[in-house]
Amino acid sequence: MPAPSEAATNQSSGFAATRILFLGFAATLFAVRVHAETIFNPIGTEDFQELIKRFVDYALVLLTPLSVIMVLLTGFFYMTAGGNEEKVKRAHKTLIWTVIGIAIVLLAKSAQLIIESALGVKGSG
C-alpha cells in the first residue's frame, strides 16, 4: 500500500479540525440551561468582618468558663501540693499558662475592636 501523499494528509487533518470546530459550535448552540441550586452557607454571613467578630465572640463564650475552671484547678493543685516541690511547680506553670490564655483571649477581642475602629466599621462591638 503506498504512503498517503502530503496533500492528502493535510486535507484530512484540515477536515478533522473543521469537524471539531463545527461540533464545538453545535454544542454551544444546543446547550441545556441548568437551573442550579444555591449553596447553603452554614456560617450565615457574607462579610469577613462579621465572620471575625463571630469567631472572637464564640471564643470568648467558650474560653471564659474554661479559664475559670483552670484557675480553680490551679488552686486545687496548690492546695494538694503539700509542700512537694514538683507539684508546686506544676501548679505554678498551670497558673502562668492560664493567665497567658486569658490575656490572649482578651487581646483578641481588644484587637478586633481596635481594628474595627481604625477601619471605621460601625455597629459591631
> Buried b / exposed e across 38-62, counting CB within 10 Å, b at 16+?
eeeeeeeeeeeeeebbeebeeeeee
**pLDDT for the residue numbered 122:** 67
Q: How confident is the model at residue 16 (pLDDT cuts 50, 70, 90)?
A: confident
pLDDT surpassing 80 at residue 52: yes
Q: Which of 113, 104, 9, 6 is nearest to 60 (CA)?
A: 104
Task: Choose between 27 and 9: higher pLDDT.
Answer: 27
Cell of 53: 467578630
Output the pTM of the full model: 0.56
pLDDT tens per residue across span 96-116: 999 999 999 889 888 888 888
Collapsed DSSP state (helix, strand, coil) of residue 85 = helix
